[in-house]
Amino acid sequence: MMNLYGDRGNVISIKKRCEWRGIEVEVVDVGLGEPIRPTGCDVFLFGGGQDREQTLLVDDLSGAKGRELKAIAEDGGVILGVCGGYQLMGHYYETPEGEKLPGVGIFDMHTRPRRPDEPRLIGNVLARVRPLEGEADATPREIVGFENHGGRTELGGGTEPLADVISGYGNNGRDGTEGARRLNSYGTYLHGSLLPKNPWLTDQLILNALRRTDDSFELEPLDDAAEKAAFASVAGRVRAGKG
Ligand code: GLN
């Protein structure tokens, strides 16, 4: 249900980048009314959705399921939420009609609707991901994607953004932040889908999951020529101001 702009491409990207390395993957769809915890999964993906889909799923999220997802996040589980899914990882998403849809509370943040004089935030985004813990001296890594959201996300004081916007709008078009990150939970506004054009991020999610059972785990490098060409194509257009 939460698969706006083909966010299911994130599932395919993780699956293929594992299988290309001989790591078997089972994909489990968790639909309305279906529990999360018993699946015993290692990576959880929560795609984007219009206000309609978000409204449809909040009842499902407001009970045990939301508590399970938050417990997985608190335990260091690997979660990637995109746009509408990301918004529901905060305290609430307020619709343009003024309805506050309760979120799971993984991130200390909330999302307000755009005011009538404010546009939807639409376009390609290039953002620089803040270094992960212990990687302060690492080369800053960038991500590209596409955003289309009316909501403006405000991060709580202690909430770390995922990235800083180089070009585009990000969380709210005002503070230069994009997404949020806490433990191994990542949230972002970037559709695309996000992961196929950002192979290093795909591998980071896979590593974060596999290192929970073996902290020495390493991934064999892959030939990322096609992925890097896709990234460079969008990043080049964005840097040239061609949106
Ligand atoms: N309905 C939300 C908004 O417009 C999220 C949309 C989306 O997932 N692209 O802000």
The per-residue pLDDT for range 95-109, each reduced to its tens digit, is 999 999 999 999 999
The stretches in the chain having pLDDT less than 50 are: none
pLDDT at 64: 92
User: How many other CB atoms sit within 10 Å of the CB of residue 27?
Assistant: 12
pLDDT at 179: 98
Phi, psi of 157 (to 5 degrees): -55, -40
The atom of ligand 1 lying closest to the CA of 49 is: 8
pLDDT at 37: 79
pLDDT at 243: 62
Quick one: angle between helices 64-74 and 51-61, nearest 10? Answer: 90
pLDDT at 62: 92
CB 220 within 8 A of CB 117: no
Per-residue buried b or exposed e for 35-52, using 16+ beta carbons within 10 Å of the residue's own CB: ebeeeebbbbbbbbbebe
The CATH code of the domain that includes 91 is: 3.40.50.880
Q: Which of these is catalytic: 18, 110, 149, 191? A: 191
pLDDT at 242: 74
Give the chain's domain count. Answer: 1
Catalytic status, residue 41: no
Ligand 1 environment, Cβ below 6 A: 4, 48-51, 54, 83-84, 87, 148-151
**How many whole angstroms from 149 Cα to the centroid of ligand 1?**
4
Which residues span the domain enclosing 164? 4-239
pLDDT at 234: 94
pLDDT at 139: 75
Which residue lies with its CA nearest to atom 5 of ligand 1?
Answer: 84
Cis amide linkage into residue 62, ω under 30° from 0 = no
CA–CA separation, 52 and 187 (whole Å) = 20
pLDDT at 134: 66
**How many whole angstroms from 103 Cα to the centroid of ligand 1?**
14
The atom of ligand 1 lying closest to the CA of 47 is: 8
Which segments are annotated as binding site?
A: 120
Question: 6: helix, coil or strand?
Answer: helix
Catalytic status, residue 18: no
pLDDT at 3: 87
The atom of ligand 1 lying closest to the CA of 111 is: 10
Q: What is the mean pLDDT of the chain?
A: 94
**How many whole angstroms from 234 Cα to the centroid of ligand 1?**
22
